[in-house]
Amino acid sequence: MRYLPLSMLMIFAGFTLYGQTDACKCSYEDPGIRMVSKITCIVLPAAETKPPEDEIYGQWRYGKIILNSGEIISGELIHYDGLNDQLIIDSKNPVIRLAVEKNTIQGFDMETMNSDHIFKFRRIRVKGKHIADYQDVYLQVLIAGRNTLYIYRKLTKTLALNEIARNYVYFIKKEDNSMVSFVKPSRKTITRLFPEKADQYRSALRKQHNRVRNEEQLINAVGTFNSL
């Protein structure tokens, strides 16, 4: 671990998500800038709860980390800890975990196996009905454009032993630089987020027979809005 400067702090970051399913207006601001030229980490004990076995949480991926300075550190073995909204970097030691200090980076990209697809996460400070206070969170970029669609892939422990719930929140940064959030995709929900163009967007979705019932259809819907 000599290649990383470490802060020997036992810190877990967490914040509250609410269970409302209706859309809400929320606000965001640029996160505080802390200029660094190296990755800075917090030392954590080994994880007590095993993450889900899927591409986002349960697998180590090679990727790049974007520092606040804009410098890119490539080729690091990383994974996303959805329980604590942390980027974990390989420590070469199974007893400890190294969590990258969130306020030192702009975000990170994770490669996928046998695919050109890349999971892109960016650190954004948000506040709204679904997040209790201004918080720096890692939001995955689903589609970028005039309107950019993000998702917060938060995991929480349930009362059942070793079970984990997925509490996803979607965010759209609109072309006027405002941000809105919602938890359940639907045609009605997404068109209500654009009252000034609701009729136009609703008509476009109907022509495409897109009912916006899942994440893929939501991505396609935002792509359609960006093209109009």
Is 58 found in the same domain as 77?
yes
Please say whether the beta carbons of 214 and 185 come within 8 A: yes
| N-to-C CA span, the chain | 50
Is 117 found in the same domain as 55?
yes
Is 196 found in the same domain as 176?
no
Query: 151: closest CA among 167, 168, 135?
Result: 168
Is 131 found in the same domain as 207?
no
Q: What per-residue string of b and e applies to 104-123 under the rule 16 or more CB within 10 Å gives b? A: bbbbbbbeeeeeeeebbbbb
Q: How far apart are CA 213 and CA 13, in angstroms?
A: 32
Question: Does the residue 34 lie in any domain?
Answer: yes
Q: How far apart are CA 91 and CA 1, in angstroms?
A: 7
56: left (phi over 0), alpha (psi -120 to 50) or beta: alpha
Question: Does the residue 1 lie in any domain?
Answer: no
pTM: 0.81
At 22-48, the pLDDT tens digits run 444 444 444 444 545 578 899 988 877
Residue 195's SS3 state is helix
For tokens 């819907």, the residue is 221
pLDDT score recorded for residue 52: 79
Is 30 found in the same domain as 137?
yes
Question: Does the residue 161 lie in any domain?
Answer: yes
Band of pLDDT at residue 13, cut at 50, 70 and 90 = very low
Is 200 found in the same domain as 176?
no
Q: Which residues contact 3 (CB under 8 A, 6 or more apart)?
A: none
At 158-189, the pLDDT tens digits run 877 678 889 899 999 999 999 999 999 999 99
Q: How far apart are CA 159 and CA 46, in angstroms?
A: 21
pLDDT score recorded for residue 114: 63
170 phi and psi angles, rounded to 5 deg = -95, 145
Which structural domain range is residue 208 located in? 185-228
pLDDT score recorded for residue 115: 66
Question: Does the residue 94 lie in any domain?
Answer: yes
The better pLDDT of the pair 149, 76 is held by 149
pLDDT score recorded for residue 29: 45
Q: How far apart are CA 15 and CA 23, in angstroms?
A: 20
Count of domains for the chain: 2
Is 131 found in the same domain as 226?
no
